[in-house]
Amino acid sequence: MKLYPLFAHLSRRAVLVVGGGTVAERKVAALLAAQAQVTVNAYTLTPQLQRWVDEGRIAHRGDPFQDGWLDRVWLVVAATSDRETNRLVATLAELRRIFVNVVDDAELSSFHVPAVIDRAPLTVAISSGGDAPMLARLLRERLETLLDHSLGPLAALAARLRKRIRIRHPEPAARRRFYETLFTGPVAALLRQGQPQAARQAAEKALASATAEPGGSVVLVGAGPGDPGLLTLRALRALNEADVILHDRLVSAEVLELARRDAERIEVGKQAGNHHTTQDGIHALLLEHARAGRRVVRLKGGDPFVFGRGGEELEFLRDHGIPYEVVPGITAAVACAAYAGVPLTHRDHAQSVRFVTAHCRASYDTLDWAALAQERQTLAVYMGVGELGTLQERLLGHGRAASTPFALVENGSRADQRVVTGTLAELAERGAAHAVRSPALLILGEVAALASSLAWFGQPPLRDAPQRAVRPAPPRPVVAVPAAQDGLLAAIHRA
């Protein structure tokens, strides 16, 4: 190890910063956060440094640097743009055995300032020993996304209870188990949910109870449309902490790859038609794993509350007393619109947008077609690829213009995204000609015309019929069939 890491108590200790530019300002900000008594030595100051001087938060010396000042300080930072001045300050500090940091000069520095992730009282500091500061910064950014801001209050709560935990659990192994539960269980969840009072009460209760058994919980997480870059930071953290992940078929492999390596992954894909039995099965699995004390992530495509039955799952968890959290995801309509260059609303074209689903003919009868056919609005239709003909017929029947543009987005946001465009009059025909398959989202409305000029992701939109001829329909059998089998054959043909 090239450097010896340490964290310094600077509260009410004098620190000298030589230099008054933006770099010095950054250093002063960090020193002020640690409550150091800062004196800045510079002829001119940045406006922010000047404000701190005016507010009495730092002292200012505008006269030339004098080495006698060093006798009063614990640390020195040399942050001028002049290397010689920096060197002089460093040499004089060295002579007095005062630690000095020279900005961007590892050689002249006797201490380095690490890249920091601040979750006070928790601090993560990263150093590359001056060799690769950009790498340290990059690492900091990565870790920053992984560490929830509730970690600070969690550490503070643990500090407050520390003595009592030690008395309650004198045996180290039991104490470790208690802390593990405190940091990963319901207390941590309550802090994430912005309920510090309830978190304190839960911690007190855990401290009073005889055992330190972890309580299971469920996080309902939206995985977005497929591109892992569209996951939220919260979703990523939940995936990192999961013991078990129950995921839909729609969740992309790239997203699943981001989950904790040793988390158990269970696919609970639902096929159209057997929703009810499988939904019960999902409920049973949620219950089984949560009751076994595991942290369960229920991972759903898009957003869990948009055509995702997330509501039903939460009702079930509530009825069974299992604690839960919800992490929203980017829903298919929002993602497909963005990745196809179709703004869902636009001042010139559409003032509203409707998220609609209609996955079977029966559900079509419950929709308000007159409202859906109105102009200057956008329809985002989920699970509609199988019924494009019905959709087209109903909308035209209720007066939507045949020339209304559409964009049909297949595998939105994924590497194999395809966008088929056209007008309402040719919707079913175009969908069939390009053999559009699920998952696909239909965006219908004036805004869809913008796809041709605003598209930016993947292949450009497919406007014309495909080049290759579509596979011809198999010839009808010429054999005569008894009347009773006629219906059966017709059914086979339809299938």
**Residues in contact with ligand SAH by the rule CB under 6 A:** 225-226, 250, 300-303, 306-308, 331-332, 336, 382-383, 409, 411-414, 438-441
On the CB side of 420, CA atoms within 13 Å amount to 25
Q: Shortest distance, CB of residue 377 to ligand SAH, whole angstroms?
A: 19
Which residue has its beta carbon closest to ligand SAH?
302
Task: Name the DSSP class of 405.
Answer: E
Beta bridge partners of 389: none
CB closer to ligand SAH out of 102 and 220: 220
CB closer to ligand SAH out of 402 and 415: 415
CB closer to ligand SAH out of 281 and 311: 311
Q: Shortest distance, CB of residue 435 to ligand SAH, whole angstroms?
A: 15
Q: Shortest distance, CB of residue 250 to ligand SAH, whole angstroms?
A: 6
d(CA 479, CA 213): 71
Amino acid 366 reads T
d(CA 332, CA 282): 22
On the CB side of 446, CA atoms within 13 Å amount to 13
d(CA 86, CA 442): 63
CB closer to ligand SAH out of 296 and 356: 356
- Which of 248, 300, 319, 416 is catalytic? The answer is 248
Q: Shortest distance, CB of residue 224 to ligand SAH, whole angstroms?
A: 8
In Å, the largest CA–CA distance within the chain is: 112
Structure tokens that stand for 413 in this block = 């946001």
- Which of 105, 118, 148, 270 is catalytic? The answer is 270
CB 433 within 8 A of CB 464: no
Is 248 part of the annotated catalytic residue set? yes
Is 82 part of the annotated catalytic residue set? no
Q: Shortest distance, CB of residue 300 to ligand SAH, whole angstroms?
A: 6
Residue matched to tokens 């025909």: 429
d(CA 376, CA 353): 9
- Please report, for the chain, how many H helices and E strands are present, in that order: 19, 17
On the CB side of 484, CA atoms within 13 Å amount to 0
Cite the active site residues: 248, 270
